[in-house]
Structure 1
Amino acid sequence: MWRDEAPGERRAALVEGGHLLEIHIQRDVQWVLGECGNGRIDRKTPSGAYIIADSGSELLLRSKISDPEGSRVAFEVMREAISEPGRTKPPEIMLRNNLPDPLPQKDALWNNRLSLPGHKSLAASIASGFDVALAGQSIVGDVTVSFQRTKAGLVFDVDGIGNAFAINSVAATEIARLLRLFQIGAMVMVDFVSMEAKTQRTQIAEIFDAASTLDQRPFERTAINGYGMMQVVRARPRPSILDHLFGTRIAALSDETQAYWLLRAVAQSSGFGPRTVTARPVVAHLLQSGQWAQWRAEAIRLSGADMVVVADEKTSGYGQVHVAQS
């Protein structure tokens, strides 16, 4: 089992036969699927209410409630917060009359998630998967599968050299693989190379179905129309890997991701001197915030050295960690 737990962020990867099949991430700063808590009704809507948890975070209830605003409620998280280009959807909850005792903790929820059927062999690094995510495309021979997040969902575009059916056959299998790899949910739109023959379009859809059988998450899809378009829909109880990496941006690492990666670098660094973390001002502010104090302290504990955060607008990449000589 390959599990990489760093301050505030847990990672796991499912690998079989040397092939990376799934990536899983849990970020403990946010509410996790199945987590329970208490809060108060902040404001009611025609179809539900917004709840302010005791921690101060906002959650969404999508069912009518008779209790007045200001009432105390107990809840369970049914869908985690989802970041999309330009916006972040708050976690969705259901109300509970009684909370479990003891309350489910993030450690236990993470372990339960990885013990689901099909998670028998977790191993290896996820760096190659991140490279594909950051590039926004996967190349298989002469076939290129490009993808981009939108508010409406994830969009795939297929391109290649040669016969349209051959190109689409490769792309259908690769798209099914990427959906599983990045744990993509909600709406997915695929723009295959157009094919006039309906029988060929049906065959490509069947190839996609066959390649999706190992992904245990159920889905629905449309037929491929004459323009090459197909839609796929899955449940979306958690953020995808792309949502985690990019947040409200389209193809650039979010401030949160940069902060997590810098804390990971501090925790995994070696040497005896203080760690100087250089980051863009907004990332530096996040690292120094009260909300991140627990993870900052954990990074210091794991590295065995103090940590200093420096804001630098000109810093490159997602920042850097320097170990002083002492």
Structure 2
Amino acid sequence: MTDFQNGWLYEAGIGENRALRVADGELVAVRVERGRTGATLASIVDAQFTEQWVAGRSGIVTLASGEQGLLQPLPKGLTEGASVRVEIVREALDEKGGQSKRAKARPAAEGSALTMGPSLLDIIEAGGEPVRTIQAHEPDRLSAFGWNEAMEQAETGRIDFDGGSLLVSLTPAMTVIDVDGPLAPYELAKRAAKAVALALTRFDIGGSIGVDFPTLEAKAERTEVSTIFDQHMAGKCERTAINGFGLMQVVARKTGPSVLEVMQADKVLSATLALLRQAERTQGTGALQLDVHPAVAAKLNHPQAWLDALSKRTGRDVSVEAKGDIPIAGGQIS
């Protein structure tokens, strides 16, 4: 992969678009885009004001798709049932267990035209770095730069580094990162500070983030660990000092789900889309058979368009067989 050292690799997959950023030949960021609706970031859409939330301050709006959003502030004189044009400022957040946080919206500027927010490809192209689109018949550049390992980290929340590991836990209120490892507390905390900063950028983790470092009694040690975090934190954020119990809080702008939230919200869907990617890259001729867990089979058959796209892209007939003894992430292709 020496021919690509800096920029973005982009892959338009079946049901999922993927991007990986490389700096000096190393993976520094991954992004995943699934199913764009009217509530994508920076979209300007018409909605119906459904109900008051906090009187005179915020309320619920319903988009044409049926998706709801939290509108704040409320335009003066807006009454329930009225139409209002809004701008999406944060996408909806799907959480494990089927819970979901509504998208956030604000009143659109007067005269604003209806528009769909930028796609993943639009966003990375606007950044000014080189963008190379890769196809399934080409070498798997994403995997060569560590895509599969990054996706495993996103799905499990476990990120290993030299001398320790991070366990990233998603909660409705915040993202919590626990530091663990066999090293002495000061050395472990220093290495973890770099790993935390890199992980926040790699997986687009924003919002409120709590980091539980080892307890460090010396203030100078806590200050040094904070400095290491600052040196490696590429995105804009605010943070507290590390307190005597090892806790540091980071706050960064959140405009949508992190890669961890995307991958963990529906693990059956994540396994299904990963299998489609693998199947699209499978060499050979003749029919493709996918032996999968019944839950994955259900995903593959609804929507049928995914299997149709796989058949069209590979030029092969595709069949699916559900087998109860196959793990969700253990689909087989033959």
Please, what TM-score do these two structures have when normalized by structure 2? 0.80
**In the alignment, what sits opposite 1:250?**
none
Kindly provide the amino acid, as one letter, of the partner of residue 227 in structure 1: F
Q: 1:190 to 1:54 in 2, by over 3 A?
A: same
Matches within 5 A, 1:1-326: 1-30=8-37, 31-46=39-54, 47-65=57-75, 66-86=77-97, 87-96=99-108, 97-100=110-113, 103-104=115-116, 109-117=119-127, 119-120=129-130, 124-125=142-143, 126-212=147-233, 215=234, 217-247=235-265, 254-289=267-302, 292=303, 294-318=305-329, 320=331, 322-323=333-334
Query: Aligned to 1:69, what secondary structure does the other structure show?
Result: coil
Segment of structure 1 superposing worse, 121-130 or 173-182: 121-130
Q: 3-state SS of the aligned residue for 1:20?
A: strand
Which amino acid letter does the alignment assign opposite residue 101 of structure 2? K
CA distance in 2, matches of 1:136, 1:235: 21
Distance in 1, Cα, partners of 2:112 & 2:306? 27
Question: What's the CA shift string for 1:193-237, capped at 9, x where partnerless?
Answer: 11111111111111111111xx2x310111111111111111110
Counterparts of 2:222 and 2:200, CA distance in 1:
20
Query: 2:286 & 2:158 partners in 1: Cα distance?
Result: 40
Partners of 1:7 and 1:187 in 2: CA distance? 32
CA distance in 2, matches of 1:159, 1:91: 34
Structure 1, 261-270 or 88-97: larger mean CA deviation: 261-270
Listed as ranges, the gaps of 5+ residues in structure 2 are 1-7, 133-140
Give unmatched runs, 5+ long, in structure 1. 248-252
TM-score normalised over the length of structure 1 = 0.82
Deviation track 1:66-114 (CA, whole Å, cap 9, x = no partner) reads: 433333333332211212344221222233354536x346xx5323310
C-alpha contact 2:125 2:131 (8 A) present in aligned 1: no
For structure 1, which segment, 197-206 or 263-272, has the greater mean C-alpha deviation from structure 2 after superposition? Answer: 263-272
Output the amino acid matched with 1:148.
Answer: S
Is the Cα–Cα contact under 8 Å of residues 70 and 102 in structure 2 kept in the other structure? Answer: yes
Q: 1:284 to 1:124 in 2, by over 3 A?
A: closer
CA drift of 1:294 comes to 4.8
Q: RMSD across aligned C-alpha pairs, in angstroms?
A: 2.8
Distance in 2 (CA, whole Å) between partners of 1:256 and 1:315 is: 16
Q: Deviations over 1:220-264 (max 9, x none)?
A: 1111111111111111102111011101xxxxx623323322333
Taking structure 1 as reference, are residues 296 and 94 closer, same or farther at Cα in structure 2, changes over 3 Å only? farther
Q: Is the alpha carbon distance of 1:58 and 1:197 closer, same or farther for their aligned partners in structure 2, counting shifts above 3 Å?
A: same
Go from structure 1 to structure 2 and tell me whether the alpha carbon gap of 1:272 and 1:140 turns closer, same or farther (over 3 Å shift).
closer
Distance 1:314 1:54, change over 3 A: farther
Q: Which amino acid aligns with 1:194?
A: T
Structure 1 window deviating more from structure 2 (256-265 vs 196-205): it is 256-265
Gap change, CA 1:255 and 1:224, over 3 Å in 2: same
Q: Tell me, yes or no, if the aligned pair for 1:15 and 1:121 is still in contact at 8 Å.
A: no
CA–CA separation in structure 2 for the residues paired with 1:236 and 1:51: 20
Residue aligned with 2:277, SS: helix
Instruction: Output the CA distance in 2 between the equivalents of 1:286 and 1:43.
Output: 34
Whole-angstrom distance in 2 between the partners of 1:60 and 1:277: 41
Identity %, equivalent residues: 26
